[in-house]
Structure 1
Amino acid sequence: MSYADLRELRSALTTASDIAFSLDAAPSGQETELLVDALRRALAAAGALGAEHGATGCPEHPRGAVDPLYGDKDDPLPPGYGRCLLCNDRRRRASAQRRGWR
Structure 2
Amino acid sequence: MSYADLRELHSALNTASDIAYALESQPTAEEAGQIVDALRRALDAARALGAAHGATGCSLHPKGAVDPLYGDKEDPLPPGWGRCLLCNDARRRAGAQRRGGR
TM (norm. structure 1) is: 0.49
Larger Rg: 2
TM-score using structure 2 length: 0.49
